[in-house]
Structure 1
């Protein structure tokens, strides 16, 4: 049966390169894609993988007999948008019926087992973004011999609102995880259909950045996602951003007053205009605002039955190789930190004491030894507290149960060195989308672009080889395993570096009971 399927795929792929379009049969009906001759890659955009009904699990997508034109992006999920969109970046029109995905696949006969599959989860603080943003174009990764999938999932209150009445009506008592259920539905669609696009459903790598990386860890911990992917990559994410239902219900009570609906009145909630729901989301959701946001995955006992850190420690994702890391200067672009950040060591001391009552003195001493400027120390602290250490921590926990690798991106644009290796810089580098607005200004000179391309070529080979074999390798460069005392440094000259976790995350280590 598999051989027959590949034979059909080869005939279809061969026809696509010569013809005006490409038709592939999915379980819901045929879809028509397009061809990129510059990269010899086929693309399919806006394919529905499920249907969204407000605060219900994703329903099966509609069946269609006539070919679905999949050459343009589908709608994004309702949101106020991410910062790149506000700066002029592309974001499709929005609709509550937004559960669609995009596929890029080599226009070549696949190997007998099929191409490795890489499924990407976008970031955006769980309140914004879309798999169709131009920065996530999968063409260049697919040209390396993988099938790339990006997708939308419900966001903000539509994706992560927890209401007691919603839990009561759900047969599993679940609420607050509609966005995660969407991601799981997309992975199930991939299992059903990716073979038709030349992919191997038995070799799926799930990767994501920021809130997408946090989602990856949540799905590693979820019993519902077991077996739907086989390798994982966490980029600037980590496993600590989940909430209890009690926390979710407290926030829902406050939101109920704002929208004028009683907590138990689901008819009122479901009749609200979507704009009224979006107004429940702060206009800017990054940085400190994200830490306080109620729109995160919830420990509902069904989608998530334990905190992801505990689940990884217990071996819930045993056998799933993990590559996890972060950018060296995640917090450098946090505007409010520049404006309101501590300008004196005493002010930094107060902030450290508030967040770490028992270990602040040693932490302050270490930062004073590392930095002359307390604001630089504060940037480092926030980087390490929010994204850097949680990401590397995931790799350390998973190392007891599967091959695990850690990386740090230290590259910075030579045109904007003060920005450092800021949050999100890994995206145009990994996808090779250097010319996408607003990232293009970072690589606007020939020399800056050449440097960035070196980083891109290394990252793409590392990520693709990890998807193919479970080992991140780029030519002679192979990432060191967690526990070796080293991590992978990504820069214009990539290589090994001493494991930064003991120095930069010693306080996380003590909080988590001595992670080694």
Structure 2
């Protein structure tokens, strides 16, 4: 059964389901194809005819990951999806999801991000968006190629901003309140939200934010970004003085070329201490009017003090990356039984120069205290979990709490899935899909998972409604600050704990 909605951009026809309405694959901007490649998104022109929003739009070009279930990709990818209880005059809170995937992979239409449960449980409107990824979204060519070509920086970020503008202008037609927008996202989605907090052009487009497993320090300087772009041009055999071939490369050629950039490194530490970063090298760039300073600096300066935040992570983030089938590196299935502590120290030294041995000793001690039969892989996972996610989340919460008393920290300790409390294990609880195959892959099959999902959803919905995540299920959730660093820990029993980061945080003082 279909449902028709009249919006400022034209008539949109979606799906009438039992208890909710679903609109799939609505374009929010003119598609960035042909000469528009590497340019900022253009606002969507009104539809000449009714638009059928009955199938998801293509995802951005990317490497295929079987677990993600993404089949169709193309540069024609700027789409969003809406789940609403009803397209009526009721002004419901709106929750906009920004997907993760390291700025290289992912889509708003992944099954694990289905917004039906949240929309029905909370009487809210849920939206998920696509945006340009990889080189198409974040390759910084501006200091190498003439401005005559009309290229733009931070196009993936600009896509997100354009999607929020579309939401502001059209969501009232779907029963949502354009003045009551909560962003929520995980991994690169959360990093995107942190970056949007520092974007002047994003001001006023959202009122609060939930950041799951993403810090405010994942950005590049112009010099670093130019180094990445120069490597991309070298790999594709393009002369920056004659860059016409950039518009002739196929999406597959672009994705293949950007893999070479993942082998490069840059320094993401904000102090004198180096913290080397590899893998995620196509990131938002600090430049110009779009992103004039790093997100963490903007937060420290109070530029986002009017935005209530929920910030958190999972306890064992890095387990996903070393235990996933097909994982490569030091702790791959082929190597894991032969690893010695000296190998671990060398690995940590690459990420944290000059501190590898100190870090190895500290995390080995912590693992031995907290886990029977802990392995060197567990030690490395604890280190990387802190380096990439837990400490950056803490730093963002600390910085924001200096300006407002509306900061709430959380940590997912649920570890009954195959990889423990790993990266992305929070997502099924947020979207109410713990009983689906993808949810069970991350969270296991324990009967208490559904109950925890209800608690989590209620907290997210409460925050979207009132900027306070307290609920009857978890009780009063006290705000986080430096003097009272309380964190809501989600597990079979949900409880506030004081400073679960304290055992390792001292290592990162003056580093992250």
Q: TM-score, normalised by structure 1?
A: 0.86
- Between 500-509 and 135-144, report the one with greater CA deviation: 500-509
Q: What is the deviation of 1:370? A: 1.3
**2:289 match:** 302
Match runs of 1:282-321 below 5 Å: 282=259, 291-321=278-308
Per-residue Cα deviation, 1:411-444 (whole angstroms, up to 9, x for no partner):
022x63xx11111111112101234444334567
3-state secondary structure, aligned to 1:253: helix
Q: 1:246 aligns with which of 223, 226, 230?
A: 223
**1:379 match:** 381
Per-residue Cα deviation, 1:125-184 (whole angstroms, up to 9, x for no partner):
10111101111000011011111110000001100111136774289x984410000000
**2:320 match:** 333
| Native 8 Å contact 2:29 2:42 kept in 1 | yes
Judged with a 3 Å threshold, the aligned counterparts in structure 2 of structure 1 residues 434 and 337 are, in CA distance, closer, same or farther, namely farther
**2:410 match:** 407
Alignment RMSD: 2.5
3-state secondary structure, aligned to 1:298: coil
3-state secondary structure, aligned to 2:313: strand
3-state secondary structure, aligned to 2:303: coil
| Native 8 Å contact 1:127 1:285 kept in 2 | no
Question: 1-side partners of 2:444 and 2:490: how far apart?
Answer: 21
Judged with a 3 Å threshold, the aligned counterparts in structure 2 of structure 1 residues 460 and 331 are, in CA distance, closer, same or farther, namely same
**1:11 match:** none
Judged with a 3 Å threshold, the aligned counterparts in structure 2 of structure 1 residues 285 and 294 are, in CA distance, closer, same or farther, namely closer
Question: 2-side partners of 1:285 and 1:250: how far apart?
Answer: 12
Q: Tell me, yes or no, if structure 1 residue 458 matches structure 2 residue 436.
A: no
Q: 1:230 aligns with which of 207, 223, 226?
A: 207
Q: How many residues of Structure 1 are paired with residues of Structure 2 in the alignment?
A: 477
Q: What is the deviation of 1:498? A: 1.9
**1:492 match:** 492
**1:468 match:** 465
3-state secondary structure, aligned to 2:386: helix
**1:431 match:** 431
Q: Which runs of 5+ in 2 are unaligned?
A: 266-275, 322-326, 369-374
Q: Which runs of 5+ in 1 are unaligned?
A: 1-19
Q: 1:35 aligns with which of 16, 33, 52?
A: 16
Question: 1-side partners of 2:190 and 2:127: how far apart?
Answer: 15
Match runs of 1:51-450 below 5 Å: 51=30, 52=32, 53-81=36-64, 83=65, 86-87=66-67, 89-107=68-86, 111=90, 114-143=91-120, 144-164=122-142, 168-169=146-147, 175-282=152-259, 291-334=278-321, 335=327, 336-339=329-332, 343-357=339-353, 362-372=358-368, 373-402=375-404, 403-413=406-416, 416=418, 419-441=419-441, 445=445, 448=446, 450=447
Question: 2-side partners of 1:305 and 1:274: how far apart?
Answer: 30
Q: What is the deviation of 1:115? A: 0.6
3-state secondary structure, aligned to 1:101: strand
Judged with a 3 Å threshold, the aligned counterparts in structure 2 of structure 1 residues 177 and 46 are, in CA distance, closer, same or farther, namely same
Per-residue Cα deviation, 1:450-484 (whole angstroms, up to 9, x for no partner):
21111110110010100100011231523221122
Per-residue Cα deviation, 1:386-430 (whole angstroms, up to 9, x for no partner):
1111122211111122310110000022x63xx111111111121
Judged with a 3 Å threshold, the aligned counterparts in structure 2 of structure 1 residues 94 and 283 are, in CA distance, closer, same or farther, namely farther
3-state secondary structure, aligned to 1:510: coil
3-state secondary structure, aligned to 2:278: helix
Q: 2:4 aligns with which of 5, 23, 28?
A: 23
| Native 8 Å contact 1:73 1:92 kept in 2 | no
Q: What is the deviation of 1:63? A: 2.2
Judged with a 3 Å threshold, the aligned counterparts in structure 2 of structure 1 residues 165 and 291 are, in CA distance, closer, same or farther, namely closer
Q: What is the deviation of 1:276? A: 1.1
**2:509 match:** 509
| Native 8 Å contact 1:174 1:303 kept in 2 | no
Judged with a 3 Å threshold, the aligned counterparts in structure 2 of structure 1 residues 166 and 459 are, in CA distance, closer, same or farther, namely farther
| Native 8 Å contact 2:93 2:176 kept in 1 | yes
Question: 1-side partners of 2:230 and 2:194: how far apart?
Answer: 28
Question: 2-side partners of 1:443 and 1:429: how far apart?
Answer: 9
Q: What is the deviation of 1:304? A: 0.9
Question: 2-side partners of 1:344 and 1:110: how far apart?
Answer: 64
**1:9 match:** none
Per-residue Cα deviation, 1:215-235 (whole angstroms, up to 9, x for no partner):
000000111111111101110
Q: What is the deviation of 1:26? A: 2.1
Q: What is the deviation of 1:44? A: 0.7
Judged with a 3 Å threshold, the aligned counterparts in structure 2 of structure 1 residues 312 and 92 are, in CA distance, closer, same or farther, namely same
3-state secondary structure, aligned to 1:482: coil
| Native 8 Å contact 1:222 1:303 kept in 2 | yes
Q: What is the deviation of 1:510? A: 2.9
Judged with a 3 Å threshold, the aligned counterparts in structure 2 of structure 1 residues 261 and 374 are, in CA distance, closer, same or farther, namely same
Question: 2-side partners of 1:275 and 1:55: how far apart?
Answer: 16
Judged with a 3 Å threshold, the aligned counterparts in structure 2 of structure 1 residues 264 and 316 are, in CA distance, closer, same or farther, namely farther
